[in-house]
Amino acid sequence: MIPPGKTIGILGGGQLGRMLGQAAQTMGYRVQVFEPVGPCPAGAVANREVNANYDDLEALKAFARECAVVTYEFENIPSGPLDAIAPLVPLHPRAEVLHVTQNRQREKAWLRMNGFPHVRYAEALDGDLAAVIGQVGRPCVVKTADFGYDGKGQMKIVSDADLEKAAAIFRGRRCVLERWVDFSCELSVIVARSSAGETKAFPVAENIHTRHILDFSIVPARVSAAALREAEQLAVAIAEKLGVVGLLAVEMFLAANGEVLVNELAPRPHNSGHWSLDGCETSQFEQHVRAVCGLPLGPVGVREPTVMVNILGDAWRWQDGRVVGEPNWLAVLSEPRAKLHLYGKAEPRPGRKMGHFTVRDRNLETALTRAKELQAQL
């Protein structure tokens, strides 16, 4: 067990690191952040911020030696340099987990090898889509193997014209083609697993995306009890098989035929878990701290039905490519059932996650209706 008073190191300085650092400090830990470019949102709430490239092994080793445990807040960190710090300090989740989940090709292959239900896919290691599209059929989605998130690095293919365009865009890049899923909704489950092997799954979230970016997370998810049970069991089994210590977010499709299919894995706090800050007995960030420090995991009961809404840079008022006005913060702050969370980013950009708010109510549909109203007013 790593007790309060010790230092937790966080690789990555975005909003997930910021909220993780806030939870750690509330519990009595010191926090230091390693981020290539500063100042960063997480650094603003940390005891110390280190700015160096991830492949700067000496800086990374010096950082690790000052920590009792090191974790990370996003998966696009080179896994190679982590081998240099693994002998110096506990690293959770371990580098092998990062290696699998940061690449769609390896992630899909791991799911297939271990028998977990997933979307039918094919590998296009050199971007030659025409050679493999027959394995999945059309419509399908081509995705880069590396560095894809929020819809970046992917394209839907329906027609021959789409295929020709995608072939030009993705030529020479490692890709996967995924069969298009006729789904009724998207779900996610965040599982915490401690170094002692204790696991707890947060309630299943129903996620609504707009332009490939998460817009709303709704808890509890409005699906059947059987689907809830299957999604939770799948997520726990994957976390145990991977040997995760910390959090694992498992994104899934609930297909129109009722089948639950795994889409993506993220070994860290997750956007769809932000509802837990206000709607759960233990937030995902406190739970991550508990897991990586070897503490007993906290309870994950829902206080009240909760809806989380992302706030993007689009919420600012723009004119000729310039910001000319702030969002209407008073709309959210005047609502007693709403809680506002801003991430301290230096400047808004369209599509950039700048914050979120949550709405709680004893009636889920009332909470969702009010969340939509506040989003419009914002």
What is the residue extent of each domain of the chain? Answer: 7-91, 120-179, 183-377
- What local confidence, expressed as pLDDT, does residue 373 receive? 98
Residue 152 has pLDDT above 80, yes or no: no
Q: What is the pLDDT of residue 203?
A: 98
For range 370-374, the mean pLDDT: 98
Which stretch of 121-135, 167-181, 302-316 has the lowest confidence by average pLDDT?
121-135
CATH class of 7-91: alpha beta
Provide the H-helix boundaries in 141-275.
Answer: 160-170, 225-242
> Among candidates 328, 352, 324, which has minimal Cα distance to 340?
328
Q: Is the pLDDT of residue 76 over 90?
A: no
Plot region of 26 (φ>0 → left; ψ -120 to 50 → alpha; else → beta)? alpha
In angstroms, the CA 246 to CA 71 distance is 8
Which residue carries 């089948």 as its tokens?
259
- In the chain, what's the furthest Cα-to-Cα distance? 60
How far is 179 from 167, CA to CA, in rounded Å? 17
Among the listed residues 1, 45, 2, 28, the one whose alpha carbon sits nearest the alpha carbon of residue 10: 45
- Report pLDDT for 126: 72
**Mean pLDDT taken over the chain:** 94
* pLDDT tens digit sequence for 88-126: 999 999 999 999 999 999 999 999 999 999 999 999 877
Given the candidates 3.30.499.10, 3.30.470.20, 1.10.260.40, 1.10.1060.10, the CATH classification of the domain at 183-377 is: 3.30.470.20
Reported as a single tens digit per residue, the pLDDT across 333-366 is 999 999 999 999 989 999 999 999 999 999 999 9
pTM: 0.95
- Which among 233, 264, 288, 262 is positioned nearest to 71, based on CA atoms? 288
- Binning pLDDT at 50, 70 and 90, where does residue 221 land? very high
Per-residue model confidence as pLDDT tens digits over 291-340: 999 999 999 999 999 999 999 999 999 999 999 999 999 999 999 999 99
pLDDT at 280 over 70: yes
State the pLDDT at residue 148.
57
Residue 83 has pLDDT above 80, yes or no: yes
CATH classification number, 120-179, choose in 3.20.20.70, 3.40.50.300, 1.10.357.20, 3.30.1490.20? 3.30.1490.20
Helices (H) and strands (E) in the chain, counts: 11, 19
Collapse the DSSP code of 376 into the 3-class scheme (helix H, G, I; strand E, B; otherwise coil) and give the result.
helix
